[in-house]
Each structure stands twice: as C-alpha cells, then as structure tokens.
Chain A
Amino acid sequence: MRVRKNIATSDEGFLFNPTTGDSFSTNPIGTEIILLMKKDRTSKDIVDAICEKYDVDRALFERDLDDFTLQLKEFSLLE
C-alpha cells in the first residue's frame, strides 16, 4: 500500500490531496505512518518501526494500522 505520490504532507500534520482538493489532518503518529508509506515501506516495516518507538502491543497496533489504512483508502489517499 502506497500513499499517492502527489499527496502533499506538512510538518504540522496536514495533508492535501491535489487530485480531489481535500485537506486532512493527522496526529503525530499518523503523520509518521504516512511518511513511512511514502517511502514505500511494507506493513511489516511500519509495524516494526512503530512498535520499536512506542509503547504498544503489536497485535493492537496491527489492528489500528489496518483501520488507519482503510480510512486512507476511503479518502482516496492510497494508490
């Protein structure tokens, strides 16, 4: 799953989809995940990276990541 190349991300956690004109905001962890996705990291890489950095149960994060990905998809932010 890859974030569309033309999605503009900002340090403040804003996203702008130039294809649709929609703007989004994310929390810091959401921004981090999107940046990893932009670098074409696999789901497993993302899970590893986040679980390394944050105090979170792996299974719980996998579930949250699925839900987050689903939303990105619904917002047409994924390729």
Chain B
Amino acid sequence: MEKQRYERPVILKMNTGLMNKFGTKTENEPVTHIESVPVKSLLSEYGSPLFVISEKQIRRNMQNAKRIFKTRYPKVRFAWSYKTNYMNAVCRIFHQEGSWAEVVSGFEYQKALGNGVPGEKIIFNGPDKTDEDLIAAAKNNSLIHIDHYDELYSLIRLSEELDLHPRVAIRVNMDTGIYPKWDRFGFNFENGQAWNALTRILNSKNLDLVGLHCHIGTFMLSTNAYATATRNLCELAWAAKERYNKMVEYIDLGGGFPSTNTLKGAYLPGTDTVPSIDQFADAITDVVLTYGFRQEEMPTLVLESGRALIDDAGYLLGTVLATKRLSDGRRATVLDFGLNSLFTSLWYEHKISPAKQHGSQTEEMVLFGPLCMNIDVVRESVVLPLLEKGDQLVVHKVGAYNMTQWMQFITMRPNIVLIDKDNNTHIIRKAETLEYIEQLEQIPDHLK
C-alpha cells in the first residue's frame, strides 16, 4: 500500500486573541517559478541564498512609468537612481530604456561613466562632492545639483579658477506636510534660502542655472506632497524668469515613489494603501500644466524614481536551515539569509512565499537569519505552512536597496542572477569568495 503524505503533527491552543487563519491564505500560495524559471533549479544551479532579478519586470515598470507621465505631459525624463541598485547590468537595462543616470557620489559617478552614460546625461546629487568630483562633472557637462552653500562657493571658486561653465541646479527642501521633513538636504524654500542661493547663481559669471531639484522624502504615501513640491519649484522657476529673465530647462521632482511593500507598523498592506504612479503623475503634471508657463517655456519634468521601478523585479531565494521551538512556545525558523543580505527587513514586512505546495496546515512563526546576532530577524511574526529543514522560500520585492546596502558580515554575499526576456539566466554578480574578501587586507610583517 502506498504511504500517505506526511505532515508534522501540530496542536494549537484556541485563543480568541489570535489572528484567525482565514486572514493569511494568500501568503501560503506557493511561488514555484520566477518568470518561467523553477526556483528549485535556480537554487541548485546558483546556490542558496540567491538574488534573482527579472529583466522583463524592470522593462515593464520603466515603460509603464514613462507611458503614464508622457501621456500627461510632453517633456518627461527619467534618471536611474544608482544608489537604489547599481549593479551595472541593472543600470544598463534602465539606460537602454532611455533613463539618464542619477548619482550621489564620485564612486557612482564613475560607475555611470563606465556604463557608457555621456557626461551631460548624468545628474550629480548629494552633499558629498569633492573638488575633483565637481571639476570632472563640470568638464563633462554633467548636471550638478548643489546641496549647500559650501558646495556653491566651492563651485564658484573652481569655475573661476579653471574657467569652467558648469550647468547647475539647486536642491530645494520644503514643508510638504509630510513627516519627517527632509530639511537636511538642499536649501530651504520657506525661509528664502533657496531664492538666495538662486540669486547667487544667477549673479555669478560662470554658473549656468538650468534646473531646480527637490527630493521630498522616501516611500511617500501622499500624492498631495508632490503637488505642493511641484508648485513650490514652479514658483521659484517663475520668479527666476520674471526677475532675471532666465527660464530653467527642467524641474526635477526627485524620487520617493513607494513600492507596494508593507512598511513595519503599517496597519494595512502596501498593496492596498500605496498610491499608484498614475496618481503621483496626476498630482505633479496638473500643477505644471496649469501654472501659467507658455507652451514653449514649459520645463522638462525630471524624475529620479528608484524603488518603484526595481523593487518588484527583485527576489531573494533561500532555504530553511533549521526549525526550533523557543522557550515561550513560539515556533522559530532559521533561514540561510538574514539582515546581512536582506537589509530592507529592517523596515518592511516582506512578503515571503513557500517555493512548493505544502499541506493546508499553517503555523505562526518567527523567521531568523543565520547570523549569530540577536537582531537578525527577517519577520517577527508570519504565518506559513509547516516548514522543514531544506524547504525553500521566496522573498518578494527586494530589488531596491538590498543589493547596495547589503553587508559582508559573518557570511559572504551570494550570487545575483538576471533572468533575461527569453528566460535565460545570467550571473550579474558572482558570489563572494574568501580570496575576494581578503584581497585588500594586508598583514604587517610582525604578524606574518
């Protein structure tokens, strides 16, 4: 007689305060394939854990966002936010789709050049630009977004000394009614600082004011805030036009559009609460279109979206190392990836799916990473099927920030695989080796 399928015996106390199991069915739908590639074969070929990126999804996201904005406003440009994911393969997909590069350090600037982006299509943001960075950016005709007065005066001095004519914008911070206010970057709108900086630029011989920039925050859930930001930038542009007869070429609304991940502490899941790109586009373009600019002076709209374009194209696959019971009776599952690879588990309740069909029985558990660190928790509480050692899991929407903020800590970083549009797989960053990690180390003679 054929034996019956086994399922671990479980007993649950019926507790009226417990989340009822009818609330969590969707979490337990298995995800057996990424695009059309089986999770199982990905893990056996490339090892576990493993980051997987879908090229198709990136292109879909990018084309979708472009369509949404371009159907509302004639002049729109996207610049890929390097810090969100600066794997060269990923950047090149965005550049192929027509995105410029948005960088925030000399390191990222060099990466963009290396990816073949012409200097004049690189936006250089951020508070950290050395004199060398500024000179290189000016010579390459890149767009320098000035963050503070020290940078403004450095740039004026350098441009005079070296006879450079940098194309610049200022970053403006403002109160858009959201919390927290990102007033540490750029020049403040309300107290007049931004206008002062603008007049300083407009009165300088060498600096060419071409744009206005803001970036009001990250993971923004309010479309109103973008309308306010757009209005403020338009107001500055209008003032520059009226008083200095100088119309800027573009206004740059930065990034900040959320992905549909669920933030920790949020009551409702992100898939239900996050505004769509259409809603953001409506808020922004309505303001510019009706502000009163003449057709020919309408500024180009620049967007530096990162997270919203890449998050759902990235997956982290992993394996259960062990299951155990904690002293308070809670079930614990130890995974082969943790905070070191999945940095975003600090602020998201990541959706995690089993990679195969399990029985219908589920249990509440805490998911730990493999590090010998108490803070290494992937999910504090999640309802999943009865997992055993060796079971595989899929973490969703990990494309943003993980592959740039990950830590080489205790373990080494895993492979990143790209699934192309024909469902072929390519390693785009190899798993680290001991040799790679140690190649920069040096041992003083007395310790040899």
Contact = CB atoms under 8 A, between A and B. Distances in A.
**Touch between A and B in complex, CB under 8 Å?**
yes
Nearest to B21: A25
A42 interface: no
A68 B7 CA distance: 12
A25 to B, nearest CB: 5
A33 B9 contact: yes
Contacts, number: 63
B410 to A, nearest CB: 27
Contacts of A30: 9-11
Contacts of A70: 325
B6 interface: yes
B7 A23 contact: no
Classify the interface of chain B: helix, strand, loop or mixed. loop
Given A29-B9, A67-B325, A74-B329, A55 B3 contact: yes
B12 A25 contact: yes
Interface in B378-404: 388
Nearest to A69: B9
Interface in B1-28: 3-14
Contact of B6 (A15, A29, A67): A29
B64 interface: no
Contacts of B12: 24-26
Interface string B308-330: 00000000000000000100010
B196 interface: no
Interface in A59-79: 60-61, 64-65, 67-68, 70-72, 74-75, 77
B6 A68 contact: no
A68 B14 contact: no
Contacts of B11: 15, 24-26, 30, 68, 71-72, 75, 77
Given A24-B14, A55-B3, A55-B4, A65 B9 contact: yes
Interface in A11-69: 15, 22-30, 32-33, 52-56, 60-61, 64-65, 67-68
Contacts of B361: 27
A26 B9 contact: yes
A67 B9 CA distance: 9
A53 B329 contact: no
Interface string B274-308: 00000000000000000000000000000000000
Nearest to A17: B13
Contacts of B329: 71, 74
B9 A22 contact: no
A24 B10 contact: no
B6 A54 contact: yes
B35 to A, nearest CB: 32
Contact of B14 (A23, A29, A65, A72): A23
13 contacts: A23-B13, A25-B12, A25-B14, A26-B9, A26-B10, A27-B7, A27-B359, A30-B11, A55-B3, A67-B8, A68-B9, A70-B325, A75-B13
Sorted nearest first, the 10 A-B pairs with minimum C-beta distance are A56-B6, A30-B9, A55-B3, A54-B6, A23-B14, A68-B9, A26-B11, A29-B9, A27-B361, A64-B8
